[in-house]
Amino acid sequence: MARSFTQEVEITRLGGHGDGVAETPKGLVFVPYTAPGDRVGVRLLKQVDQGVAAELLDLYQAGPDRVEPPCAHFHDCGGCALQHLSGTFQARWKQDQVRDALRRRNLDPEVVRPIATVAPGDRRRAEFVARRVGAGVLAGFNRRLSPKIVDLEMCLVLDPRLVALLPPLRDTFTGLLKPGAGLDVQATLTDTGIDMLLRGFEPDLAARERLAAFAAEAGLARLSLRRRDGEVEALLVRGTPQVTFGGVAVTLPPGAFLQASPAAERLLRDAVLAGIGDAARVADLYAGCGTFALPLSGKAAVTAVEGDAALAEALRKAAQLAGCRVTVETRDLVRRPLQGAELDRFDAVVLDPPRAGAREQAVALAASKVPRVVMVSCMPGTFARDARILVDAGYRLTEVRPVDQFVFTPHIELVGVFVRGEGDA
């Protein structure tokens, strides 16, 4: 197929990654930044799994759900994929994605509740990239599928306090990076200020002083560096980066996992609390630093299990200090899922695995007597796979609550509740 062949196609739907899909006599064509009903001119680029990936060249006719993208960087920046679609369409599409994932595993799509959405501008974690190009430094996000950097002047998704870091970052690193050199900058907004972790940069003494001055000027709570050997070193600590879960303050390790948006976190937490019913003994698996374990401990005795030693330790310390009913175990749940009698002592199990899901733990739960399981997931496909394992073992999937935590992207968060046998939903 000639690489620069240009053709007109009509978009009929969105694919799973948020690209518009055209059904042509020669097969499917995937076009980013298009909407159902659009007639567009495209350049075919390359063969992909189920068809051909294409680049949008011209919009001849706009579909009914197309809107003006609100951000000046849309199309250029790899952060967002759906800004050209109305909020109503995005919500409906995300909800349908969850339903379709269930249908593909022969699970009942009717249990999916209306999606709860979060306003843009609430994201509290950013993974910026910065690179010296010419005399200056570009700082922002990568372009879509490209190492090139979009020098962000605005971002509607991030909390504005994170966007405000970009100008001082550029100024600071202009004097510190050699031409072509770059680094990764992870910034997390905590209750006590911004916690920043730098990666891919080896500062000398002068650079350390400059960075300490930057941290003070930008009002960071803490600035740390992940060195080449993987160790994390604090460059400047001006405050203790903390977040509060269920009224308990947790001191975060550098680079700690947090739910992306505080508003989404509250929705997920409420769904988890409702999902466990009146359980008195609860396991919180893939617990992070206590997003669910600490609020759960207000109504139940909690055993929290987490694979990352630093996160587990942060939770352990916070729970001890506050006198919460939380015991913490550091454990790899893929290699050593909770099994048998270990599981059967719980009235409910909450699990919130990464995108890969929790197949091994689901298999162990399938063999257990645990009456209720609440699964939080950022990946409907692996959620449905693991849900099938539970349902085949006699659990009923009673409800799924999607949460649009990742606005303007194709990603979806959800909470599913499973009840064993004929137990109360």
315-323 contacts, C-beta under 8 A, 24 or more apart: 315/250, 315/287, 315/288, 315/289, 315/290, 317/251, 318/248, 318/249, 318/250, 318/251, 318/289, 318/290, 318/294, 319/248, 319/290, 319/293, 319/294, 322/247, 322/248, 322/249, 322/294
Q: Considering the rule CB under 6 A, would residue 262 count as an interface residue with ligand SAM?
A: no
Among 173, 257, 395, 406, binds ligand SAM (CB under 6 A): 257
Q: Considering the rule CB under 6 A, would residue 334 count as an interface residue with ligand SAM?
A: yes
Stretch that binds ligand SAM, among 44-52, 106-114, 221-229, 283-291 (CB under 6 A): 283-291
Size of the site for ligand SAM (CB under 6 A): 18
Q: Considering the rule CB under 6 A, would residue 352 count as an interface residue with ligand SAM?
A: yes
User: Which residues, including other chains, have CB under 8 Å from residue 272's CB and lie 6 or more apart?
Assistant: 292, 295, 296, 350, 374, 376, 415
CB of 267 to ligand SAM, least distance (A): 12
CB of 403 to ligand SAM, least distance (A): 12
- 169/362 with CB nearer ligand SAM: 362
84 in Cβ contact with 66 (< 8 Å): yes
Q: Considering the rule CB under 6 A, would residue 360 count as an interface residue with ligand SAM?
A: no
Side chain identity at residue 154, one-letter code: M
Among 120, 254, 295, 307, binds ligand SAM (CB under 6 A): 307
Q: Is 71 a catalytic residue?
A: no
Q: Considering the rule CB under 6 A, would residue 63 count as an interface residue with ligand SAM?
A: no
Among 291, 297, 368, 409, binds ligand SAM (CB under 6 A): 291
| Given 77, 155, 289, 378, the catalytic residue | 378
CA distance 85 to 78: 16
Residue (of 192, 211, 191, 188) closest to 201 by Cα position: 211
> Which helix (H) or strand (E) covers residue 190, if one does?
strand 182-190
CB of 24 to ligand SAM, least distance (A): 38
CB of 360 to ligand SAM, least distance (A): 9
Catalytically active residues, by annotation: 378
